[in-house]
Structure 1
Amino acid sequence: MVATINSLQPKLNWYAVYTRFKAEKKVEERLSLNGFDSFLPLQTIIRQWSDRKKKVQVPLINSYVFVRSDKKDLSKIYQVSGVISILKYLGNYAIVKNTEIENLRILSNNGLPIQTSNQAINLSKGEKVNVLSGPFKGLQSTYIMNGGKHKVIVEIETLGTYIEVTMPLHVIQDV
């Protein structure tokens, strides 16, 4: 039997790597230096000190870095300084879905101000939606309406984490 090119290439999946407290940036850098395809979703926030305000980038999800790797190479990740563990589910390494990684990329790359809209929309709470335009274009999430504000909840199912984003209604379409 002839092996195809796809069968010779290792199966790469995304995994969630749990890090020491406030070591996410260093761990991501070290993983990259060791040849791993790593991703650390960041958000820009304004920190207030007694004498000034400053924009700083902090992890979107504390203590987690995402790594794309073959399952057999996961043991090498434990050798990276700052790594505590790799997320497991039922005794096996938990695979993070590509759509969840893509949602995190969209959320971490926005940085643009969002204007609200009073446009009527026929969506029900809990309905699955796609974002059609703007800084969150391509985001796949769940719609909620809370206290007069229109929000989209992005679930990172593998980690059991939710991220809430307020955005204009005219950019949302139900799936």
Structure 2
Amino acid sequence: MAGNMYGKPSGKDTWYLLYCKPRQEQRAQQHLANQGFNSFVPLLTVNKLKAGKQVKVTEPMFPRYLFLQISSEQLNLSSIRSTRGISDFVRFGQQLAQVPAGLIASLNLQQLAQQQQENNNQPFKAGDPLTVLNGPFSGIEAVYQLAEGDKRSVVLLNLLGQWVKTSMDNQQIVKNQPN
């Protein structure tokens, strides 16, 4: 059984550090899971500028590195090293680099906290009823459509019974509270 993919320690297994081929962490993780191994690649969501626009990108916290949890009985260096996406074990001389289980648990908690924070930072969802707080459309009903960058949103305004699509600053709108 592959175990979990989130780095929660199970039993007396030891965590080792593997070096992956460029941008092959997810591939290596999947092929290790197919062989019955538990591995962990901590991920971060960062804002990057692509084609002049800010976009959120999920990428490995440690590019080209992967944590592998195995017992000493399962430790078969050649089969692990020949897994697609894996370059080799990280070593200190002849000694394989071992990682404390507490560090893996801490990285896992940090990743889960970031995911929770990202979910909380998205105040609007498509179809949410809104009210315009200020500006020329103050007090007018609106419906959220989609984000337009980090600070603006596309909304539908109800103007004289007609819905009009426009872009507004996120600070000008507030989500209506359910009654």
Taking structure 2 as the reference length, the TM-score comes to: 0.53
Who is 1:157 aligned against? none
2:103 partner letter: E
Whole-Å Cα distance in 1 between the matches of residues 50 and 98 of structure 2? Answer: 39
SS at match of 1:14: strand
2:84 partner letter: S
Residue 48 in 1 paired to residue 49 in 2? yes
Residues 67-113 of structure 1: per-residue CA shift (max 9 Å, x gap): 10123334321121121110112312121101111121122222217
2:14 partner letter: N
Whole-Å Cα distance in 1 between the matches of residues 64 and 34 of structure 2? Answer: 19
Whole-Å Cα distance in 2 between the matches of residues 51 and 90 of structure 1? Answer: 45
Displacement of 1:51 after TM fit?
5.1
Residue 83 in 1 paired to residue 86 in 2? yes
The percent identity for this pair of structures is 25
Whole-Å Cα distance in 1 between the matches of residues 52 and 59 of structure 2? Answer: 21
Who is 2:107 aligned against? 104
Please say which of residues 65-74 and 16-25 is displaced more in the overlay.
65-74
SS at match of 1:35: coil
1:24 partner letter: E
Displacement of 1:58 after TM fit?
0.4
2:38 partner letter: D
Pair member with larger Rg: 2
Whole-Å Cα distance in 2 between the matches of residues 110 and 26 of structure 1? Answer: 25
2:13 partner letter: L
Structure 1, unpaired ranges of 5+: 1-9, 114-175
Number of aligned residue pairs: give it. Answer: 105
Whole-Å Cα distance in 2 between the matches of residues 29 and 73 of structure 1? Answer: 18
Who is 1:152 aligned against? none
SS at match of 1:109: helix
Taking structure 1 as the reference length, the TM-score comes to: 0.54
Superposed, 1:1-175 pairs within 5 Å as 11-50=12-51, 52-71=53-72, 72-111=75-114, 112=117
In the TM superposition, structure 1's runs of 4+ consecutive aligned residues that sit over 4 Å from their partners are none
Residues 39-90 of structure 1: per-residue CA shift (max 9 Å, x gap): 0000011222125332221000111011101233343211211211101123
SS at match of 2:62: coil
* Contact 1:18 1:65 survives alignment (8 Å): yes
